[in-house]
Amino acid sequence: MSAPVLAVEQLTKRFGGLTVLGGITLEVAPGQIHGVIGPNGAGKTTLFNVINGIYTATSGRVVFRGRDITNKAVSRIAGLGLGRTFQVARVFNEMSLLDNMLVPTIPRRLPRRAVEGRALALLELAGLAELRHQVAIEISGGQKKLLEFMRTMMFDPDMILLDEPFGGINPALVDRLTEIVLQLNREQGKTFLLISHEMPSVMRLCEVVTVLAAGLTIARGRPAEVREDPAVIEAYLGH
């Protein structure tokens, strides 16, 4: 059996006296689309923020491709091949879509001509190529999420963390984003860990789902099994 691409081992995060993550353990296999769900305040985004270095872990470990990346710098973790998107897309509103795509290449001082082709191909994949010269402030929130996702792919990461990729976007863009994730997974073997409240998308995409509530893991399994788990139903709906 292949070693996991990502292993989270007894991960805890406290802010003062508040425990937000209470010993989370999960593994993501190579080429897997793994979902993380749970009610608001469950600790999902905090988990992502610890994994990719925005927050330091109080205890526990994060191992990516066999390397301990716990509390490493965000830039170093990204450089190892772990990409990340955010609940609210982080784009440069006054820059064109094409220039947004090229921002990650600036620190490497790569010639524009050398990277523009990949940027245009990724914009084409997202259905945004025709808007490449438009400034980002003029596109919709859903298109900004697509733009951020495609920008994350500029350096071909092995694994991508998607934080609420479907939240607040129209059904057509949800379908497009879903198809892109499936295409990258099937054709390029990309591994995904995603947070989502959009259960139909989770059911369609994810092979395994981990459920968090109050900073603890309360269930893990196939989507259909998790959906019927009494502990999950209680966490979402109460008694």
Q: How confident is the model at residue 133, as a pLDDT? A: 96
> If we measure between CA atoms, which residue out of 126, 186, 182 comes closest to residue 152?
126
Confidence of residue 92 (pLDDT cuts 50, 70, 90): very high
pLDDT at 9: 96
The yes-or-no verdict on residue 54 having pLDDT over 70 is yes
For 3-19, write each residue's pLDDT tens digit. Answer: 899 999 999 999 999 99
What is the 3-state secondary structure of the chain? Answer: CCCCCEEEEEEEEEECCEEEEEEEEEEECCCCEEEEECCCCCCHHHHHHHHCCCCCCCEEEEEECCEECCCCCHHHHHHCCEEECCCCCCCCCCCEHHHHHHHHHHHHCCCHHHHHHHHHHHHHHCCCHHHCCCEHHHCCHHHHHHHHHHHHHHHCCCEEEEECCCCCCCHHHHHHHHHHHHHHHHHHCCEEEEECCCHHHHHHHCCEEEEEECCEEEEEECHHHHHCCHHHHHHHHCC
Does 85 score more than 70 pLDDT? yes
Average pLDDT for residues 144-162, to the nearest whole number? 95
Distance, in Å, from the CA atom of 14 to the CA atom of 157, rounded to the nearest integer, reads: 29
- pLDDT tens string 184-239: 999 999 999 999 888 888 889 999 999 999 999 999 999 989 988 888 888 876 64
Q: What confidence score (pLDDT) does residue 167 get?
A: 87
| Tokens 């390029």 belong to residue | 188
The pLDDT, as a whole number, for residue 37 is 93
Question: Tokens at residue 37, please?
Answer: 């769900």
Judge whether residue 162 has pLDDT over 90: yes
pLDDT one-digit tens code per residue, 97-147: 999 999 988 777 777 777 899 999 999 999 999 999 999 999 999 999 999
- So what's the pLDDT on residue 112? 78
User: In terms of DSSP bridges, do strands 18-28 and 6-15 run parallel, antiparallel, or are they unpaired?
Assistant: antiparallel
Evaluate whether 24 touches 7 at the Cβ level (below 8 Å). Answer: no
pLDDT greater than 90 at residue 62: yes
User: What's residue 1's pLDDT?
Assistant: 61
